[in-house]
């Protein structure tokens, strides 16, 4: 028996899409401005930030597409729907960010070896526009309460863009005041260092979902102990937990109960108590249980331990 998840996830996803569309508009506008600024000022930090804005725009498009796909009606073979599209999008975003880090590291080291002149006032002006726009985009995305990996991926990219714009402004000021042109590639290298750990964490979170590892904070031994403590329950086996998509943990188990408990409460009563237990104590709303009478154990082939 499964327990329905309700419409809250779908409503949250629709709100996320609205935010992503607005952020995409801001991002594309700033991308054009920063590309012009990088050409006018001759700044690697601005070009790096513009390049990241390009991947950011692509990531938002990908996140939007994945969100629409995830909301599609399940088909006869896709019984869980297309929720994992959001996780795949988050993984692609993380890989793109890692590629951006590699490019910034390479280009930054080259510029350190052979510094090039930078138009500091122009660099500051264009970077400031990017800084303000990224701050607006981040404020829009931070209003989401879905904790979607897809949404988190987009937020991380915008946050990295904001840091990049801030560093570009700082580098421009340093160059303007001191003439130290190497501040430009140094800023691009710092951007790469700041992006890297967030990219790795996002990739790790996506892979955990795709490998169907038990959700963080959900102790299966604790779940088993709670179920075994319920009246009439004598055994819990084939206990599995995984995450369908962000914010949607799932659990399944075979639960053996005494014949007396089944006679007293019926299968429906036992199931109600099991579902209430996992929902109230562990926050798992999507749980499926196979209730088995105690006399059934001698006929069941449990197979190998997984």
| 205 and 231 belong to one structural domain | no
Does pLDDT of 217 surpass 50?
A: yes
Do residues 109 and 79 share a domain? yes
pLDDT at 55 over 90: no
Mean pLDDT of 161-190: 88
Stretch 269-291: mean pLDDT: 89
What per-residue confidence (pLDDT) applies to 69? 66
Q: What is the pLDDT of residues 105-146, one digit of tens each?
A: 888 898 888 888 888 888 898 889 888 888 888 887 776 555
Please return the burial class of 285, using the count of CB atoms within 10 Å of its CB with bins 0-12, 13-18 and 19+.
buried
Task: Give tens-digit pLDDT for 65-115.
Answer: 666 766 677 667 766 667 777 788 778 878 887 887 888 888 889 888 888
Which pLDDT band holds residue 15 (cuts at 50, 70, 90)?
A: low
Pick the residue with more confidence: 2 or 102? 102
Residue 15: give the domain boundaries.
Answer: 8-210
Mean pLDDT across the chain: 79
For residue 252, the cross-strand partners are: 240, 288
pLDDT beyond 50 at 1:
no
pLDDT given for residue 7 in this prediction: 44
Q: Can you give the CATH number for the domain in which 72 is found?
A: 1.20.1510.10
DSSP conformation letters of 93-154: HHHHHHHHHHHHHHHHHHHHHS-----HHHHHHHHHHHHHHHHHHHHHHTT--S--HHHHHH
Whether residue 25 is predicted with pLDDT greater than 90 in this model: the reply is no
The per-residue pLDDT for 77 is: 72
User: Are residues 257 and 157 both part of a single domain?
Assistant: no
210, 240, 265 — which closes off a domain?
210
Q: Number of helices (H) and strands (E) in the chain: give both, helices first.
A: 8, 3
Higher pLDDT, 30 or 5: 30
In which band, very low, low, confident or very high, does the pLDDT at 205 lie, cut at 50, 70 and 90? confident
pLDDT at 5: 43
| Three-state DSSP state, 216 | coil
Q: Same domain for 205 and 228? A: no
pLDDT score recorded for residue 301? 52
72 and 26 belong to one structural domain: yes
Question: 14: pLDDT confidence band, cut at 50, 70 and 90?
Answer: low
- Which tens digit of pLDDT belongs to each residue from 219-271? 899 999 999 999 889 999 999 998 877 667 889 999 999 988 888 888 889 99
Domain termination site, one of 182, 210, 238: 210
Cα 257 to Cα 205, 212, 221, 284, distances in angstroms: 36, 28, 18, 21
User: What is the arithmetic mean of pLDDT over 145-152?
Assistant: 59
Q: Is the pLDDT of residue 31 over 70?
A: yes
What CATH number does residue 247 fall under?
3.30.70.1350
Give me the residue label for tokens 């002006």.
125
Count of structural domains within the chain:
2
């Amino acid at each position: 028996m499964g327990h329905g998840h309700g419409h809250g996830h779908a409503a949250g996803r629709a709100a996320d899409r609205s935010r992503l569309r607005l952020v995409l508009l801001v991002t594309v506008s700033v991308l054009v401005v920063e590309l012009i600024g990088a050409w006018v000022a001759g700044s690697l930090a601005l070009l790096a930030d513009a390049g990241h804005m390009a991947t950011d725009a692509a990531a938002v498009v990908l996140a939007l597409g994945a969100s629409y796909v995830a909301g599609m009606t399940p088909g006869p073979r896709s019984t869980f729907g297309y929720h994992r599209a959001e996780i795949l999008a988050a993984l692609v975003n993380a890989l793109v960010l890692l590629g951006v880090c590699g490019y910034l590291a390479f280009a930054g080291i080259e510029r350190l070896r052979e510094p090039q002149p930078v138009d500091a006032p122009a660099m500051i002006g264009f970077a400031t526009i990017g800084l303000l726009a990224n701050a607006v985009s981040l404020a829009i995305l931070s209003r989401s309460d879905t904790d979607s990996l897809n949404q988190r991926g987009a937020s991380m990219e915008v946050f990295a863009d904001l840091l990049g714009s801030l560093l570009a402004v700082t580098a421009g000021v340093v160059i303007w005041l001191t003439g130290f042109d190497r501040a430009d590639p140094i800023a691009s290298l710092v951007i790469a260092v700041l992006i890297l750990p967030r990219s790795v964490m996002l990739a790790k979170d996506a892979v955990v979902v795709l490998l169907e590892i038990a959700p963080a904070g959900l102790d299966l031994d604790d779940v088993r102990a709670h179920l075994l403590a319920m009246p009439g329950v004598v055994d819990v086996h084939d206990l599995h937990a995984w995450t369908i998509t962000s914010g949607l943990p799932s659990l399944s188990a075979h639960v053996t109960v005494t014949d007396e408990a089944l006679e007293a409460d019926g299968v429906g009563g036992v199931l109600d108590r099991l579902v209430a237990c996992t929902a109230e104590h562990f926050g798992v709303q999507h749980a499926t249980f196979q209730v088995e009478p105690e006399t059934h154990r001698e006929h069941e082939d449990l197979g190998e331990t997984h």
